Amino acid sequence: MIHVRALPGTPCHANDMEAIIDQALGEADTYRACGIHALMVENMHDVPYVRNPGPEIVAAMAVVARAVKKAHPQLPLGIQILAGANREALGAALASGADFIRAEAFVFGHVADEGYMDASAGPLLRYRKTIGAEKIAIFTDIKKKHSAHAVTGDVDIVQTAHAAEFFLSDGMIVTGTATGEAARIDELRAVYAAAKLPVLVGSGITAENIQEYLPFADAFIVGSHFKKDGHWANPLAPDRIRCLLDALV
């Protein structure tokens, strides 16, 4: 995960676009040199997030993603635009040549930090069809972190996974309760056993625990662990990247 610096118009914005692009390219170069298999860009520094980020955010993410894809065309590239801006991410992915997006609130509405997020599968897949972006995969969070799921308390994570499959997700992401928090292994095991789609772990993976999770996932999205002291806002720590990759052998 490449955590893009705060973008124009957000409270923490401090850098011009050239500096933002250079930071993203530097992280992409480091990841590639360490042997990472795929990349994703995310506007993590745009706190506090809003449900409908403006066109300046979408345009900036497309520009950053295009620069990263041009520098490393051999690596699959994904985009996530917070918060829950799945349609915007898909448009940016098409414009930049990215290969997939990470989508929140695909099936079943829930309450997130930013407020209520409604399910988006129907409109999102119709939009993908309309713009001719069927080749862009949509990986979908289920029972997502930083959210309350009391409204669907009678729907367990396996039922949610089946709903995502039925609504044509390309892969499902299981997370912990917050950024950097590990997913529950029992939930991951249950989803992996029941699902026909690829299953990804979307938070909390470390060099110390990846072997425990490895039998029950097809891919891992890692951000915080690769940063100094394991905190998402810190600079990349190449030794931590290599240590995790060594743990896969």
Domain boundaries, the chain: 2-247
Class of domain 2-247: alpha beta
Which residue shows structure tokens 């979408």?
58
Mean pLDDT of the chain: 95
pLDDT tens, residue by residue, 114-159? 888 899 999 999 999 999 999 999 999 998 767 777 777 899 999 9
Give the pLDDT confidence score for residue 131 in this predicted structure.
98
Average pLDDT over residues 57-69: 98
Task: Name the nearest CA neighbour of 157 among 179, 184, 181, 122.
Answer: 184
Task: Name the nearest CA neighbour of 173 among 187, 186, 156, 154.
Answer: 187
With a CB cutoff of 8 Å and minimum separation 6, the contacts of 212 are: 185
**In the predicted model, is pLDDT for residue 180 greater than 70?**
yes
Quote the percentage of the chain above a pLDDT of 90.
Answer: 87
pLDDT tens, residue by residue, 80-104? 999 999 999 999 999 999 999 999 9
The CA-to-CA distance between both ends of the chain, in Å, stands at: 21
- To 10 degrees, the CA torsion angle through 206, 193, 133, 117? -70
**In the predicted model, is pLDDT for residue 41 greater than 80?**
yes
User: CB–CB of 179/82 below 8 Å?
Assistant: no
Phi, psi of 202 (to 5 degrees): -110, 10
Quote the percentage of the chain above a pLDDT of 70.
Answer: 100
pLDDT tens, residue by residue, 188-215? 999 999 999 999 999 999 999 999 999 9
Average pLDDT over residues 165-191: 91
The whole-model pTM stands at: 0.94
Give the pLDDT confidence score for residue 124 in this predicted structure.
98
Helix, coil or strand: residue 42 = strand
More confident residue, 222 or 180: 222
